[in-house]
């Protein structure tokens, strides 16, 4: 099974590496990191890099397309780049699954793939998601037809485990979970806006808002 | 706070990127990816790369050292490389925290840091961990003095959230959890050998055993 993970400057590393690790552990997926231009890709933190082994022109189809997210407002660059959006549309035409992690769904939306589609995103990006025609849905993994969107950053792991179950069966997904020793034990229980205290949510909202009002500078 | 993540060819990406993403989200950590030789670093899957921005000779101290793991038997290379082990010992001399993810603890053990120390590793590596003088301990995150070891692959996220709580306080750790939307919802509950069915554990054990008997070929 061919899995293509789209990279771009300013990306959030875990959005890409979470699903990558799940698909790699199946030993039945050929995972490719693909970007507009191959080579090293700057992370949103400006403290490291991922690496695109292929350029858009080299990869024109995949069974699974994954579009990861980024710190605001880095999604603006791919959302405003017709080359990127056209490549996504072309990949989507023949994909079995078109997926996103975090605010990667905004990029799918900009490509016109989410009109009247139930979808999720990072909890801080629901307004923009709605403005792109999607029906924002507060679930960790939202599947509608062949479009699967996941919530913020870490949720790509859960989404990929679901995709493995759907494509290869539940036994392989269970095995991958054991290989990754994915038995999460977060020290607190504040990972969603349904659980975190209101003042904490307000603080993070302000931080994300301040970030989103800046210009992308990757 | 200075965080150094050690990279080497044959590494498991999520072991490194899980903790990286947590520390990066604090906006109070300077995270550096460091390897014997800087440049691109081959992943264990042979389907991608990480990137070391610094060489060992450039980084001689950090507040937090993270040593990630790898697919068996790729740990053999760093475990048998005196340059790597000496660098780890030097970093450990002045670190506030010396940590590992997955079978990265075997590399700490090879450096002589785990004699009579309670430590964990990937569940498939407990025999080797014991042979290196450690006291294998079946917990997701094991803290003894300034040495903190985490269980397999995905556990580095939980470990880093703990470290953030210990260093910066629980509020920041809660905030990072919300930024990462780390509200795990794995589709199954087979992420530890305490929970997975016995036949599944046996299958994965055989797979890991077969891998570990090969020669590293990164």
User: Over chain A, what is the mean pLDDT?
Assistant: 96
The pLDDT, as a whole number, for residue B212 is: 86
In chain B, the residue whose alpha carbon lies closest to the alpha carbon of A18 is B14
Residues of B whose CB is below 8 A from A154 = 21, 157, 180-184
In 3D, which of A87, A101, A84 has the Cα closest to residue A11?
Answer: A101
Question: B153 and B122 in contact (C-beta within 8 Å)?
Answer: yes
- For residues A181 and A49, give the distance between their C-alpha atoms in angstroms, rounded to a whole number: 25
Pairs across A and B, CB distance < 8 A: 214
Question: A14 and B180 in contact (C-beta within 8 Å)?
Answer: yes
Question: A10 and A74 in contact (C-beta within 8 Å)?
Answer: yes
- For residues B144 and B146, give the distance between their C-alpha atoms in angstroms, rounded to a whole number: 6
- For residues A101 and A121, give the distance between their C-alpha atoms in angstroms, rounded to a whole number: 7
For A113-164, the pLDDT digits (tens) are: 999 999 999 999 999 999 999 999 999 999 999 999 999 999 999 999 999 9
Top-confidence residue, A216 or A52: A52
Q: How far is B86 from chain A (nearest CA, A)?
A: 25
Over residues B173-180, the mean pLDDT reads 97
B28 phi-psi bin (left φ>0, alpha ψ -120 to 50, beta other): alpha
Over residues B185-198, the mean pLDDT reads 96
Locate tokens 């904490």: which residue?
A200
- For residues A106 and A120, give the distance between their C-alpha atoms in angstroms, rounded to a whole number: 9
- For residues B212 and A7, give the distance between their C-alpha atoms in angstroms, rounded to a whole number: 32
Note whether A177 contacts B186, CB cutoff 8 Å: yes
For this structure, is A102 an active site residue? yes
Note whether B178 contacts A191, CB cutoff 8 Å: yes
β-bridge pairing A141-144 and A147-150 = antiparallel
pLDDT beyond 90 at B214: no
Locate tokens 């990558």: which residue?
A20
Over residues B6-26, the mean pLDDT reads 98
- For residues B202 and B183, give the distance between their C-alpha atoms in angstroms, rounded to a whole number: 29
Q: How far is A88 from chain B (nearest CA, A)?
A: 21
β-bridge pairing A2-6 and A64-67 = parallel
pLDDT band for position B218 (cuts 50, 70, 90): low
Look up the ipTM and state it.
0.97
The pLDDT, as a whole number, for residue A213 is: 87
Q: Compute how many other C-beta atoms are within 10 angstroms of the C-beta atom of residue B21.
A: 29
The pLDDT, as a whole number, for residue B138 is: 95
Over residues B167-176, the mean pLDDT reads 96
Over residues B100-129, the mean pLDDT reads 98
**Domains of chain A and CATH, by start:** 2-212 (3.40.50.880)
- Report which secondary-structure segment, H or E, holds A200: helix A198-212
State the catalytic residue, choosing from A11, A24, A91, A102. Answer: A102
In chain B, the residue whose alpha carbon lies closest to the alpha carbon of A172 is B200
The pLDDT, as a whole number, for residue B213 is: 87
Tokens of B10: 């044959």
Note whether A187 contacts B17, CB cutoff 8 Å: no
In 3D, which of B5, B16, B180, B21 has the Cα closest to residue A45?
Answer: B21
Question: B43 and B49 in contact (C-beta within 8 Å)?
Answer: yes
**Which range (A93-97, B31-35, B205-209) has the least confidence?**
B205-209
The pLDDT, as a whole number, for residue A216 is: 72
The pLDDT, as a whole number, for residue A218 is: 67
The pLDDT, as a whole number, for residue A141 is: 98
Q: Compute how many other C-beta atoms are within 10 angstroms of the C-beta atom of residue B82.
A: 8
pLDDT band for position A185 (cuts 50, 70, 90): very high
In 3D, which of B180, B173, B164 has the Cα closest to residue B21?
Answer: B180
Helix spans in chain B (H): 13-25, 76-79, 82-94, 104-110, 126-131, 155-168, 170-179, 198-212
Over residues B69-89, the mean pLDDT reads 97
Confidence (pTM): 0.97
For A45-85, the pLDDT digits (tens) are: 999 999 999 999 999 999 999 999 999 999 999 999 999 99
Tokens of A50: 């991922």
pLDDT band for position A214 (cuts 50, 70, 90): confident
């Amino acid at each position: 099974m061919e899995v293509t993970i789209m990279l771009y400057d300013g990306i959030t590393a875990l959005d890409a590496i979470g699903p990558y690790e799940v698909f790699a552990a199946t030993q039945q997926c050929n995972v490719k990191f693909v970007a507009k231009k191959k080579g090293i890709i700057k992370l949103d933190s400006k403290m490291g890099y991922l690496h695109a082994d292929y350029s858009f022109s080299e990869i024109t189809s995949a069974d699974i397309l994954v579009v990861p997210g980024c710190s605001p407002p880095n999604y603006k660059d791919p959302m405003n780049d017709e080359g990127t959006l056209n490549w996504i549309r072309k990949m989507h035409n023949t994909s079995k699954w078109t997926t996103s992690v975090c605010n990667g769904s905004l990029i799918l939306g900009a490509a016109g793939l989410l009109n009247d589609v139930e979808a999720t995103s990072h909890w801080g990006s629901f307004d923009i998601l709605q403005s792109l025609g999607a029906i924002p849905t507060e679930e960790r993994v939202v599947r509608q037809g062949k479009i699967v969107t996941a919530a913020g950053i870490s949720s790509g792991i859960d989404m990929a485990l679901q995709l493995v179950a759907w494509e290869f069966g539940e036994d392989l997904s269970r095995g991958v979970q054991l290989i990754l020793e994915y038995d999460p034990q977060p020290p607190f229980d504040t990972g969603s806006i349904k659980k975190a205290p209101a003042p904490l949510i307000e603080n993070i909202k302000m931080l994300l808002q301040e970030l989103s009002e800046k210009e992308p500078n990757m």
